[in-house]
Chains A and B, each alone.
Chain A
Amino acid sequence: MTAFGRWEEIEHLISAAIELGKDERSGFVQHACDGDAELYREVSSLLGAHEESGPLDHLANELFNTDSSHSRGVHSMSGRTVGHYGVLERLGGGGMGVVYEARDLRLDRPVALKFLTPGLSADPDAKERFLIEAQSAAVLDHPNICTIYEVGELTTGSSSSPCPDIRARR
């Protein structure tokens, strides 16, 4: 059970650990807990629950799943693996694209994945604009602008609808 009196302390440690790479997390938690076994156990256990997809996520998928087969076409990429990226949570979206929190599984680092809005993936002009945006951003090197790691197309499900995506550092 959570040591409720220490909720904030635990929450801040988890929040800080999440910002690190997976291999750095346990070292960080060990150091931060400084021999406090109860705190260490709690933070490690919740961090484990954070890193995996659990019943809450499963239920969200079951109840509110809006995947590619769905008539409304607002398909969710959460929980999928795209190339060597594990897609986590949807961070936001606009008219043009949808951005997800993701993890580069090869280099084990956090990334952001931007997908062209599914409804636009069949539109060549939209695809072109999306690529231009990626190319323009890729030549820039500024702390407030995402570094573009990669851009490509993927095939989703059986519908074979190509969907360009940009993979960028957060």
Chain B
Amino acid sequence: MHQQGDITSLLSDFTHGERDLLDELFPRVYDELRQIASRRLRHERSDHTLNTTALVHEAWLEMAGFGRIEIESRAHFFAIAARAMRRVLVDYAVRQKALKRGGGDRKVPLEEVQILADEDGEDLLSLDAALERLGAIKERHARIVECRFFGGMSIEETAEVIGVSPATIKREWSMARAWLNRELSS
């Protein structure tokens, strides 16, 4: 289950000015994404793939489009949503792993049981750990990976969200991708 402490640590690398917004929004975006993901996967049970871009956009429409949240910047929302998407998937993986070991001590809704293939769940947890290590070295690189990988954003969208040029994003993404691929291969 999601712990408040996790949220706080997840948000620690955002700048101070962004923190208030994140503290307030992250749990709500997280819940929204989880609901959408579960709904999607219930209808497409045979197919354990998610279109994260579509999920994040749907969350944006649900929340901002229907006035359920007030948010000044679309870019801010997408930065939060990319991070929340990462958390949603990692939490699924953790829960599945626990269930597989027979350690599930609470009832889990059926639609959440097999969201990810077992192997993908393991790989996702390895990625999450590697991403933590990357973030400790280069915070922005980890955020770029979140936007690109978990948020399904293009180079241009990521540039807008992070607030640097697309050329910088492209260079740093290349490095981050190569670094993570190597970390995960070893």
Residue B137 at the chain A interface, CB threshold 8 Å: yes
| Shortest distance between the CB of A136 and any CB in chain B (Å) | 24
Interface residues of B (CB under 8 A from A): 44, 47-52, 54, 89, 116-117, 120, 123-124, 126-127, 137-138, 149, 152, 154-156, 170-172, 174-175, 177-182, 184-185
B174 close to A62 (CB less than 8 A): no
Number of cross-chain contacts by CB at 8 Å: 98
Give every chain A residue within 8 A of B48 (Cβ-Cβ): 63
Question: Within the assembled complex, what's the spacing in Å between the Cα atoms of A46 and B116?
Answer: 29
A91 close to B137 (CB less than 8 A): no
Partner of A47, one of B155, B156, B178: B178
List A residues 1-26 near B (Cβ within 8 Å).
2, 4, 7, 10-12, 14-15, 18
| Shortest distance between the CB of A87 and any CB in chain B (Å) | 16
What is the predominant secondary structure among interface residues of chain B facing chain A?
A: helix
B175 close to A46 (CB less than 8 A): yes
| Shortest distance between the CB of B117 and any CB in chain A (Å) | 7
Question: Within the assembled complex, what's the spacing in Å between the Cα atoms of A90 and B158?
Answer: 14
Partner of B182, one of A4, A11, A54: A54
B49 close to A56 (CB less than 8 A): no
Residue A37 at the chain B interface, CB threshold 8 Å: no
Q: Which of A47, A49, A56, A93 has the most CB of B within 10 A?
A: A56
Closest to A65 in B: B49
